[in-house]
Amino acid sequence: MQIAIASGKGGTGKTTLSVALAQAWNGPVQLLDCDVEAPNASIFLSLENSSEQTVSVPIPVVDSSRCTGCGKCAAVCEFNALAVAGKSVLVFEELCHSCGGCTRICPAQAITEQPRGIGKIRTGQFGTIRLAEGRLDIGRAMAPPLIRAVKKSADPALPILIDCPPGTSCPMITAMKGSDFAILVTEPTPFGLHDLVLAVETVRLLAIPFGVIINRSDSGDARVVEYCEKEKIRLLLQIPESRKIAEAYSRGETLLSAEPALKTPLQEIIRSIR
């Protein structure tokens, strides 16, 4: 069982809800923090026995003494990560997607691959929750390989909750792929609705069943609810604006510590998804 928690935009309370769902889970569960550019689930969960591993990707290195300047490597690179000038090849690491195409096509065998670290995975335990957190190194732009590594680090025998990166681009899709269900967290504002529509289009393209949670549900207008009704989208829960929750959040405390009564509806959501 793999459930993705996502949102079209940041700041909707996606991570807060991911942590709360993990705490409401009946039994051992894994929480994968795949929001690798800004992972913050561990702020709420003080990890015990944590360990860290570096994640690397292969990056091409060109041996200029073998290069003939034929330009085939730059021509095959769909990401413009290579530029050939005479017999010298420039590699723009930030653009490289580590597809291996240039290494394979080079007729002079002038290209080899070297590992380059892109980030770290920290894993640890908080009660019955096993947290795996991906953290992209500063200056690195390639989130998907690190997200894939975080997902690969999960124990397939245990249920998985994935805190996805916000938005609807490659990182979110990489995190969400393969999920049995998606929970889209939104807020009742024009921005919330706009980005929810994008998120709904994305999960429908991925053919993943989904439902919506509206956070700070009494802080905006009714357009998100009307949209869900019109699109026949399951509205799983509405959480009203609460100063108590906001204050707890600012102290690094969890949603359930501020509003323990939310545990029952969250458990009901888990039960109905299962």
Interface pick for ligand SF4 out of 53, 54, 100, 112 (rule CB under 6 A): 100
Q: Does 118 bind ligand SF4 (CB under 6 A)?
A: no
Which part of the chain contacts ligand SF4 (CB under 6 A), choosing from 91-99, 138-146, 173-181, 224-232? 91-99
Tell whether residue 89 is a contact of ligand SF4 (CB under 6 A).
Answer: yes
Q: Shortest distance, CB of residue 83 to ligand SF4, whole angstroms?
A: 10
Decide: is 129 part of the binding site for ligand SF4 (CB under 6 A).
no
Question: Which segment (96-104, 188-196, 207-215, 220-228) binds ligand SF4 by CB under 6 A?
Answer: 96-104
The span from the first CA to the last CA of the chain, in angstroms, equals 8
Piece in contact with ligand SF4 (CB under 6 A), picked from 6-14, 97-105, 248-256, 261-269: 97-105
Task: Kindly state the smallest distance separating residue 262's Cβ from ligand SF4, in Å.
Answer: 45
Between CA 227 and CA 172 the distance in angstroms is 22
When asked if residue 24 is in the footprint of ligand SF4 (CB under 6 A), the reply is no
DSSP-assigned states of every residue in the chain = -EEEEE-SSTTSSHHHHHHHHHHHSSS-EEEEE--TTS--HHHHS--EEEEEEEEEEEEEEE-TTT-----HHHHH-TT--EEEETTEEEE-GGG-----HHHHH-TT--EEEEEEEEEEEEEEEETTEEEEEEEEPTT---HHHHHHHHHHTS-TTS-EEEEPPSSSSHHHHHHHTT-SEEEEEE-SSHHHHHHHHHHHHHHHHTT--EEEEEESTTSS-SHHHHHHHHTT-EEEEEE---HHHHHHHHTT--HHHH-GGGHHHHHHHHHHH-
Size of the site for ligand SF4 (CB under 6 A): 27
Structure tokens at 120: 């770290």
In whole angstroms, the minimum distance from the beta carbon of 221 to ligand SF4 comes to 45
Residue closer to ligand SF4 by CB (options 72, 263) is: 72
**Closest by Cα among 194, 229, 239 to 9:** 194
Residue 52 to residue 117: CA distance in whole angstroms: 13
The 52-71 contact track toward ligand SF4, x by CB under 6 A, reads: --------x-x----xxxxx
Q: Least CB distance from residue 174 to ligand SF4, whole Å?
A: 16
Indicate whether 265 belongs to the interface with ligand SF4 (CB under 6 A): no
Residue 147 CB, nearest approach to ligand SF4 (Å): 18
81 touches ligand SF4 by CB under 6 A? yes
Query: Is residue 99 a contact residue for ligand SF4 (CB under 6 A)?
Result: yes
State the amino acid at position 194 in one-letter form: H
Least spacing, CB of residue 57 vs ligand SF4, in Å: 9
Q: Which residues of the shown chain bind ligand SF4 in the complex (CB under 6 A)?
A: 60, 62, 67-73, 76-77, 79, 81-82, 84, 89, 96-102, 106, 108, 110-111
